[in-house]
Amino acid sequence: SIAEESTAWPMITWPAYAGGLGFNLKWNMGWMHDMLDYFAMDPWFRQFHQQRVTFSIWYAFSENFMLALSHDEVVHGKSPMPGKIPGDEWQKFASLRCLYGYMFCHPGKKTLFMGMEFGQTSEWNVWDDLDWHLMQYPSHQTLKLFMQDLHKLYKSQPALYEVDFKLEGFQWIECDDNRNSVISFLRKAADGSFLVVVCNFTPVLHASYRIGVPEPGFYAELLNSDAQQYNGSGTGNLGGKWSEDWGCHGFPYSLYLCVPPLAILVLQLQPETPAIAEG
């Protein structure tokens, strides 16, 4: 059972014997409103509103949350998803890939309303079909391809879903880089394996960006939303990066990354890699 609740009533997903209402999941309305408000801003002003991206983690483990981008957000004059985001077509679709990527890497289960996966440009109408004709255009084709690959990544990586409702499944690397509007964090599986996630919420390329990591070795780039196959600029890390023996953000090692504009990166430490970084 799933509760859609917007009054901040406590213990919605707690068991009845503990005083809760006993629902399995609760929509995270706060995350949804914060993220849509954030992505509606001009990217140059997002640096003053970083808390909209990070605040949800403060309460993410108080309930069993579901992150919902639902039909309610694309009806009654609220605009379809591409229309909510400023910029030209390339920036709109790059931002959607970044938003959806962050959604799938954020703790909590997911629900995405039909048509959002390919960037429908008209509001939902119960009497009409989806805008399937848009699939003839590259921006929509490549967004759909990105969503397919994002779902495959989610399904294949226990770190993205195994420990959704406990703090042990999440750890910030850096959440305070307001000036660059970049965040980075770890998602962890039950066995302790982890993924590194980096999000850049502005159209500015960061060609030399250092983040801390807990273990040495080679970190493969599993997902780059700015890849050319997604109609991105093709900026990235050539398949991955070796860690450096240089502490950062409270971790003993670090990665020196190229972080693309309006993009999300997901990296994974590869097994049995040497402890000493390559040149």
User: Does position 276 have pLDDT exceeding 70, yes or no?
Assistant: no
Domain ranges of the chain: 2-160, 167-269
| Confidence (pTM) | 0.94
CATH, range 167-269: 2.60.40.1180
Note the pLDDT tens digit of each residue in 245-275.
999 999 999 999 999 999 999 999 998 755 5
Note the pLDDT tens digit of each residue in 221-248.
999 999 999 999 999 999 999 999 999 9
Matching fold, domains 2-160 and 167-269: no
> Can you name the CATH fold of 2-160?
TIM Barrel (3.20.20)
Which backbone phi and psi does 264 adopt, to 5 degrees? -120, 140
Note the pLDDT tens digit of each residue in 3-40.
988 778 899 999 999 999 999 999 999 999 999 999 99
